[in-house]
């Protein structure tokens, strides 16, 4: 377990029940601020959703947790380690305890399904080929796709590719799995399957899951806690029951899918009439 050999852990995260903690995190590119003052803590063993519209900065949060981006200010703590302060080697060491499912799966297109899942095992372990084979088939069985092992990713449907990517994300038995839009572009059946899988794998393997999504119905069914992010800030949070009961305007707009509300339908622009008659 990665957390048993940690050196010095900051006071706030010495508590073993917290897998990921973000403390007042701000991030931006040059002049543009993407996230400001994000504070969240993700308990071990739970499924936590980060909800928000497109471009609200949710994926950025995952990249901060994975150490692919560094925050401008604030602390990002994963399993007791401050991620931005890790050097390259320690960062790679930490990532071995992470799994990530990318938006469209990001399967390696030049390898078969089997090789995709075996990839991390072959890169990071010296296991003999028979054991790797057993492990890979086990992971594929867990997502119900053992029969696809010899196929190339191009031969899979969108939902199947997502499940294979899920099997790849859990190949090294990580303590934390991050899902970037796991439901995007899936038909309702595949969507239900993937949602169920995330929940079941989380409970069966004792991992912690962070799901970034804009699919509110699917999330309400399966998560333990959710954060709503809009314009780089957390605007609401709570358990699914609290969210359902919430009468906060943003949450209502998101849950009920209304076109106009706190998130305006119109992009900021000069007055319509001024624009129309501008050519005079």
Partner 1 sequence: MTSAAFLGLAHVLRRLGAGTLAFITRLGFATRFALAVIRNSPAAVRRIHLTLRELYFAGVLSLIIILVSGLFVGMVLALQGYDVLIRYGADESLGILVALSLVRELGPVVAGLLFASRAGSAITAEIGLMKATEQLSAMEMMAVDPMARVVAPRFWGGLIAMPLLAALFSTLGIFGAYLVGVKLIGIDAGAFWGNMQAGVDFRFDVLNGIIKSFVFGTAVSVIAVFEGYVAKPTAEGVSSATTKTVVVSSLTILALDFVLTVFMFRGLGV
Interacting residue ranges for partner 1, rule: CB under 8 A: 66, 68, 92-93, 95-96, 98, 100, 102-104, 106-110, 119-120, 123-124, 172
Kindly state the DSSP code that residue 258 receives in the 8-state scheme.
Answer: -
Nearer to partner 1 by Cβ, of 178 and 243: the residue is 178
CA 104 to chain centre: 12
Task: Kindly tell me the sign of the dihedral angle through the C-alpha atoms of 257, 260, 264, 265.
Answer: positive
Rank residues 124 and 200 by Cβ distance to partner 1 and give the closer one.
124
Q: Which of 93, 141, 139, 148 shows the shortest CA–CA distance to 119?
A: 139
CB of 262 to partner 1, least distance (A): 31
Residues contacting 256, CB < 8 A, separation 6+:
none
Backbone torsion region of residue 45, taken as left when φ is above 0, otherwise alpha when ψ lies between -120 and 50, otherwise beta = left
In terms of CB distance, is 2 or 238 closer to partner 1?
A: 2
Tell me which residue of 148, 128, 145, 138 sits closest to 170, measured CA to CA. 138
- Can you count the helices (H) and strands (E) in the chain? 10, 10
Provide, rounded to whole angstroms, the least separation between the CB of residue 180 and partner 1: 9
Q: How far is the CB of 143 from partner 1 (least distance, A)?
A: 17
Contact by Cβ (8 Å): 63, 69: yes
Q: Is the CB of 59 or the CB of 190 nearer to partner 1?
A: 59
Q: Which is nearer to partner 1, 110 or 130 (CB)?
A: 110
Residue 160 CB, nearest approach to partner 1 (Å): 16
- We find the least distance from the C-beta atom of residue 208 to partner 1, in angstroms, to be 16
């Amino acid at each position: 377990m990665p957390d048993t050999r940690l050196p010095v852990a900051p006071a706030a995260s010495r508590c073993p029940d917290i897998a990921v903690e973000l403390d007042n995190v701000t991030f931006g590119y040059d002049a543009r601020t993407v996230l400001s003052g994000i504070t969240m803590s993700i308990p071990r063993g739970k499924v936590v959703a980060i909800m928000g519209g497109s471009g609200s900065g949710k994926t950025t949060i995952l990249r901060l947790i994975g150490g692919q981006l560094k925050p401008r200010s604030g602390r990002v703590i994963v399993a007791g380690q401050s991620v931005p302060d890790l050097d390259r080697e320690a960062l790679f060491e930490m990532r071995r305890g992470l799994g990530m499912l990318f938006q469209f799966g990001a399967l390696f297109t030049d390898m078969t399904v089997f090789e995709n899942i075996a990839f991390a095992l072959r890169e990071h372990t010296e296991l003999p080929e028979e054991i790797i084979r057993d492990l890979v088939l086990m992971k594929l069985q867990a997502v119900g796709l053992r029969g696809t092992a010899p196929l190339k990713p191009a031969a899979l449907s969108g939902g199947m590719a997502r499940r294979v990517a899920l099997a790849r994300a859990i190949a090294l038995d990580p303590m934390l799995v991050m899902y970037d839009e796991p439901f995007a572009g899936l038909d309702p059946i595949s969507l239900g399957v993937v949602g169920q899988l995330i929940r079941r794998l989380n409970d069966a393997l004792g991992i912690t899951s962070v799901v970034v999504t804009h699919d509110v119905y699917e999330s309400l069914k399966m998560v333990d806690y959710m954060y709503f992010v809009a314009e780089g800030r957390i605007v609401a949070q709570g358990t699914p029951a609290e969210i359902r009961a919430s009468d906060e305007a943003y949450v209502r707009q998101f849950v009920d899918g209304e076109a106009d509300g706190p998130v305006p339908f119109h992009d900021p622009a000069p007055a319509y009439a001024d624009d129309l008659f501008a050519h005079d």
